[in-house]
Amino acid sequence: MSRPKNRLQLMNRLGAEQLNNVWSWCAVNEAEKKVYFSIWTDNIHTHNGQKGYLIQKAAGDPDGEVATRSAARADRNAKFDLVFEQGYEAYGYFIVPKDRFAQPREILETRTSFVMKLRLERLADGSVWATAIERLEIR
């Protein structure tokens, strides 16, 4: 079986369904209770002394304010609830921006050769941080 070439093929390989194949930034494999979140490659930061990824900005953040009313944000919040409230496992796949300063952002590529098992932390301001704990190769 050849390696997936895009996000849709990757999610199909993982048995995960997106709410919408165009604007969803996450997907769920209900049978295995796994949620897959997209992570911009340049959103790496240090939080509590550990390197991790900001996968959702705070609702009050200037960039996040418009996003709080989007269907994609509502979808992602529902998927975070699966992890935080229903015990689903969190995973991430990486997307590379065409221009990291552009707004809105466009995807240059989706990295499809691996996913990362994640530990998520939801902060009081609504932002969500992810720490990668295990790399899983896609075969």
Structural domains in the chain (count) = 1
Instruction: Assess if residue 110 is contained within a domain.
Output: yes
Question: pLDDT (tens digit, 9 = 90+) per residue, 36-48?
Answer: 999 999 999 988 8
On whether residue 92 sits in a domain, the answer given is yes
Parallel, antiparallel or unpaired: strands 89-97 and 34-40: parallel
Could you list the residue range(s) of the whole structural domain that residue 39 is in? 7-137
Over residues 49-103, the pLDDT tens digits come to 889 999 998 876 555 445 556 788 889 999 999 999 999 999 999 999 999 998 8
With a threshold of 0.75, does the pTM exceed it?
yes
Secondary structure in 3-state letters for 65-131: HHHCCCHHHHHHHHHHHHHHHHCCEEEEEEEEECCCCCCCCCEEEECCCEEEEEEEEECCCCCEEEE
Radius of gyration of the chain, Cα coordinates, nearest whole angstrom: 14
Domain contains 2:
no
Does the residue 1 lie in any domain? Answer: no
111 within some domain = yes
93 domain-assigned: yes
